Amino acid sequence: DTGVSQDPRHKITKRGQNVTFRCDPISEHNRLYWYRQTLGQGPEFLTYFQNEAQLEKSRLLSDRFSAERPKGSFSTLEIQRTEQGDSAMYLCASSRTQGLQETQYFGPGTRLLVL
Amino acid sequence: RKEVEQDPGPFNVPEGATVAFNCTYSNSASQSFFWYRQDCRKEPKLLMSVYSSGNEDGRFTAQLNRASQYISLLIRDSKLSDSATYLCVVNSSYGGATNKLIFGTGTLLAVQP
């Protein structure tokens, strides 16, 4: 196991509802990433934290999406007013600053289905 | 054009075969490269980093050609347990702070008994 945990592992919701996912990174890792993966595609970058600071957000992250990492440990990703197009696997990864060859370790993902 | 492109496959090979996957990337400023493996409905896991000089890990050999912006992965003596999707990955930091990863769509490998 990589040590990154995510909760819940699966979420089914109705269109228009809000959902929140949690990621607990490996304890000594200061960097945390969120990615989204749809069927038949590779993961796509959503956002990145170094400690508690959110340093980059993808254009994929619409205003309905918000992410936090309040104490530089766990992170939450909230989707407001979910749409069917939000159905995907949401992956969290963590790493320790090591320059360009740093390894990102992925959690098991949260699989979201919006009906 | 996608930033990282790879043949989606599937590659169906018999046990013991040698199989090669190729990948191209569009940004010449990319500085680090990886192959990740993803099993069905699981998270991606790092298989190996790819270095300019080429590198080998057991039955796996990765090569990088910066001039052609081309990355390859060779699997020798393939096993049933090698069946998975292989993701070509490029670090897009370009010297900046974020080491976000850019993934290809993945190549599906099915090793047959």
DSSP assignment string, B22-58 = EEEES-TT--EEEEEEE-TTS-EEEEEEE-TT-EEET
Structure tokens at A46: 């959503």
Interface contact flag, B100 A100, Cβ < 8 Å = no
**H-helix or E-strand containing B13?**
strand B11-14
CA distance A57 to A28: 23
Of all residues in chain B, the one with the smallest CA distance to A42 is B105
pLDDT bracket for residue B96 (50, 70, 90): low
Task: Count CB neighbours of A51 within 10 A.
Answer: 12
Length of chain A: 115
Mean pLDDT across chain B? 91
Query: With contacts defined as CB-CB under 8 Å, which chain B residues touch A43?
Result: 44, 87, 101, 103
Chain-chain contact of B42 with A108 (C-beta, under 8 angstroms): yes
The string of pLDDT tens digits covering residues B59-80 is 999 999 999 999 999 999 999 9
Determine the distance in angstroms separating the CA of B43 from the nearest CA of chain A, rounded to an integer: 5
Q: Residue B50 and residue B30: Cα distance in Å, rounded?
A: 12
For A100, the closest of B4, B8, B93 (CB atoms) is B93
pLDDT at residue number A1? 52
Torsion of CA A6, B5, B61, A103, to 10 degrees: -30
B75 touches chain A (CB under 8 A): no
Please report, in angstroms and rounded to a whole number, the separation of the first and last CA atoms in chain A: 31
Tokens representing B98?
A: 């974020």
pLDDT at B95 over 60: no
Sign, CA torsion B14/B42/A48/A115:
positive
How many other C-beta atoms lie within 10 A of the C-beta of residue B101? 26
Interface check for A49 against chain B (CB to CB < 8 A): the answer is no
**A23 vs B: CB within 8 A:** no
Provide block-wise average pLDDT over 10 residues at a time, chain A (115 residues).
Answer: 88 98 94 95 94 89 93 94 97 83 90 97
Q: How far is B72 from chain A (nearest CA, A)?
A: 17
C-alpha to C-alpha distance for A109 and A36, rounded to whole angstroms:
9
